[in-house]
C-alpha cells in the first residue's frame, strides 16, 4: 500500500487499526517531498527531524488509544502561518531568516489535535497573487502540467496536496487564494465565513477580507480539519463566537429540495466555454440529485473586483508598514515588484484628497454587494458558479499585464468582500486534462450546508480519484 496515496479519513483509520505507524506515514510523505519538490517547488522549508520526532510521540499516544482528531497526520502549513521555532517567510526575502517565538492560533489547535507539521509551503510573497508566480523562492509548478501555474496565492499547499506530498495543506484566502489553487489542482479548498477561523498569528495581507482555512483531497477531510481549527479566539477581535460542530458528522443525508442559485453574471462573456460547460454538467448532477436550479442575479457583482482591489491594496499598504527592518526582518528595499505595486496603489487610495474618491467609495460598494447576497439567500440556499473564468494558464502568460492578472479574482473576490463562506470542489477536466473547479457559496456560518452539497456531488462524480502523473 502506497501511504502517500491515502486520503485523510483512510489514514486516520489505518493508524487507529495499526495497519501502519505515524512514523511510516511521515517517512513516506517526506520521501515523496524529497523526490519531487526540487521540480514542483511546493515547499520552502521541510521539517523532517521535527516531524519524525512528533510522529514517534503520536505512535505512543495511538498505542494508548488516544482519540485526537488528527493524531499522527502530516500537515503542510502555508508559510504565512507563524510557527514557533520554524522559519516563517511569507515567501518574501524581507522575512528570509525570521523565526517566530509563538504559534498562530490555528497552528496551536492543529498541534493539540495531534497534527504533525511536515513543512512550510510556497506562496505568492505576502499572499499577493493569483498564480503562484510572485514568490521570492521561485514558482510552484502545477502537478497536472508543469508548464502551467498552480493558482495562488496558496500555490504550494495546493500543489503539495494534489501531488500527495501531504494529507492536508493550509492556506489563506483574501480574494480566492485557497479556492483558486484548489480548482487548478483538483483538490478541495475552503474559504470559510470571515472570522470562523482565527487570524491571530497569520501574517496579514488585507485584514478585512483575510480568511484562514485549508486544502484537502476530499470534502470529508476538509470538514474534519475545520472542526479542529474553527472557533472563537480572544486573541482575534474579529473571531466569531458561533458554536463549532463536528462538520464531518453533518455530511450525510439527502440534498433534494435545496435551491441552488445560478448567478447569470458568472456565466456570461469572459467565461471560457469549457469552464462554463463543465460547471453546467456539475449543476445537472445536482439537479439529478433533487436540487432545484434557480436563475438569480447579483447586480453589483460587476463592481465586486474593483471594490475588492481598492480595499485590499489599501489594507496591504497599511499592514506592510510594520516591516521596517528595525525590529525584525530585512530592509524594505527587498520587497518584490508586486508588493511595491500594491503598496503604491493602496497608499494612493488612502492619501489625503483621494480617500473619499477611492477607499470610502469602495466601502459603500461593499455594502451594496453584501445586500445582493443577503437578498439572494432569501430565495435560495446555495449559490453555485465557476472558480476561475478560464483554465490553468502558462507561466508568464498574464504576468506582463497586471490588470489581466488581477481580474483572475473576479469570481472569487465577491465572497471575500461579503464575508460569506465558499467551497471549491473538483468538477472535471478539460480535453487537455486540466482540472476545473466549481464553488458553492452560502450565508455566513453555512459551512455545514456547503459541505453537505459538495459531499453528495463528490460521491456521485469521484473526481478526486484522478491523480497527476509526476516526474522528476
Residue 325 within any structural domain of the chain:
no
In terms of residue numbers, what domain contains 454? 3-258+392-465
How far apart are the C-alpha atoms of 209 and 203, rounded to whole Å? Answer: 13
Q: Are 439 and 184 in contact (CB under 8 A)?
A: no
pLDDT score, position 304: 92
Strands 259-263 and 422-429: unpaired
State the distance between the two ends of the chain, measured CA to CA, in whole angstroms: 22
Strand order in the sheet with 382-386: 43-46, 116-121, 74-78, 168-173, 211-216, 188-191, 422-429, 435-441, 382-386, 259-263, 292-296
The catalytic residue positions are 78, 153, 177
Return the pLDDT at 328: 85
Residue 198 inside a domain? The answer is: yes
Beta carbons of 338 and 134 less than 8 angstroms apart: yes
Domain count, the chain: 1
In a domain, 344, yes or no: no
For residue 408, what pLDDT is reported?
75
CATH code of the domain in which 129 resides: 3.90.1300.10
> Is residue 106 one of the residues assigned to a domain?
yes
Would you say residue 459 lies in a domain? yes
Taking the chain (472 residues) in runs of 10, the rounded mean pLDDT of each run is 95 98 98 98 98 98 96 98 98 97 98 98 96 96 98 97 98 97 98 98 97 98 98 98 97 94 91 96 98 97 92 96 89 93 94 91 96 97 96 85 71 97 98 98 98 98 98 93
Q: Is residue 378 part of a domain?
A: no
Is 302 part of any domain?
Answer: no
- Cα torsion for 115, 113, 155, 123, to the nearest 10°? -90
Residue 383 belongs to some domain of the structure:
no
> What pLDDT does residue 242 have?
97
Amino acid at each position: 500500500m502506497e501511504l502517500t496515496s491515502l486520503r485523510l479519513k483512510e489514514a486516520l483509520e489505518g493508524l487507529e487499526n495499526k495497519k501502519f505507524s505515524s512514523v511510516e506515514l511521515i517517512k513516506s510523505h517526506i520521501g515523496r517531498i524529497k523526490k519531487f519538490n526540487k521540480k514542483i517547488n511546493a515547499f520552502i522549508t521541510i521539517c523532517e527531524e521535527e516531524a519524525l520526532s512528533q510522529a514517534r510521540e503520536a505512535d505512543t499516544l495511538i498505542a494508548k488509544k488516544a482519540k485526537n482528531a488528527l493524531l499522527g497526520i502530516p500537515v503542510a502549513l502555508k508559510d504565512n502561518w507563524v510557527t514557533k521555532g520554524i522559519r516563517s517567510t511569507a515567501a518574501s526575502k524581507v522575512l528570509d531568516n525570521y523565526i517566530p517565538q509563538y504559534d498562530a492560533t490555528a497552528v496551536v489547535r492543529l498541534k493539540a489535535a495531534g497534527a504533525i507539521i511536515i513543512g512550510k509551503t510556497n506562496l505568492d510573497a505576502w499572499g499577493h497573487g493569483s498564480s503562484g508566480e510572485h514568490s521570492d523562492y521561485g514558482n510552484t509548478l502545477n502537478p497536472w502540467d508543469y508548464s502551467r501555474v498552480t493558482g495562488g496565492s496558496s500555490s504550494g499547499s495546493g500543489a503539495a496536496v494534489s501531488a500527495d506530498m501531504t494529507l492536508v495543506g493550509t492556506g489563506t484566502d483574501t480574494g480566492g487564494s485557497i479556492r483558486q489553487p484548489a480548482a487548478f489542482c483538483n483538490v478541495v479548498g475552503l474559504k470559510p465565513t470571515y472570522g470562523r477561523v482565527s487570524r491571530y498569528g497569520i501574517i496579514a495581507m488585507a485584514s478585512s477580507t483575510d480568511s484562514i482555512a485549508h486544502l484537502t483531497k476530499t470534502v470529508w477531510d476538509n470538514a474534519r480539519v475545520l472542526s479542529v481549527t474553527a472557533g472563537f479566539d480572544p486573541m482575534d477581535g474579529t473571531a466569531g463566537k458561533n458554536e463549532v460542530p463536528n462538520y464531518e458528522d453533518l455530511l450525510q443525508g439527502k440534498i433534494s429540495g435545496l435551491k441552488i442559485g445560478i448567478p447569470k453574471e458568472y456565466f456570461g462573456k469572459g467565461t471560457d466555454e469549457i469552464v462554463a460547460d463543465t460547471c453546467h454538467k456539475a449543476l445537472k448532477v445536482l439537479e439529478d440529485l433533487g436540487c432545484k436550479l434557480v436563475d438569480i442575479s447579483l447586480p453589483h457583482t460587476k463592481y465586486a473586483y474593483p471594490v475588492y482591489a481598492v480595499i485590499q491594496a489599501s489594507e496591504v499598504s497599511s499592514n506592510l508598514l510594520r516591516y521596517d527592518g528595525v525590529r525584525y526582518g530585512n530592509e524594505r528595499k527587498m520587497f518584490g515588484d508586486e508588493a511595491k505595486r500594491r503598496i503604491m496603489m493602496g497608499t494612493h487610495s488612502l492619501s489625503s484628497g483621494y480617500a473619499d474618491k477611492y477607499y470610502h467609495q469602495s466601502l459603500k460598494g461593499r455594502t451594496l454587494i453584501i445586500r445582493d447576497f443577503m437578498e439572494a439567500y432569501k430565495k435560495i440556499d446555495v449559490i453555485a458558479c465557476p472558480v476561475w473564468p478560464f483554465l490553468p494558464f502558462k507561466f508568464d502568460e498574464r504576468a506582463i499585464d497586471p490588470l489581466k492578472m488581477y481580474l483572475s479574482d473576479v469570481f472569487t473576490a465577491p465572497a471575500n468582500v461579503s464575508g460569506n463562506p465558499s467551497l471549491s470542489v473538483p468538477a472535471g477536466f478539460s480535453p487537455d486534462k486540466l482540472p476545473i473547479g466549481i464553488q458553492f457559496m452560502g450565508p455566513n456560518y453555512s459551512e455545514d450546508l456547503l459541505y453537505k452539497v459538495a459531499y453528495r456531488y463528490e460521491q456521485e462524480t469521484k473526481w478526486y480519484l484522478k491523480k497527476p502523473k509526476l516526474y522528476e
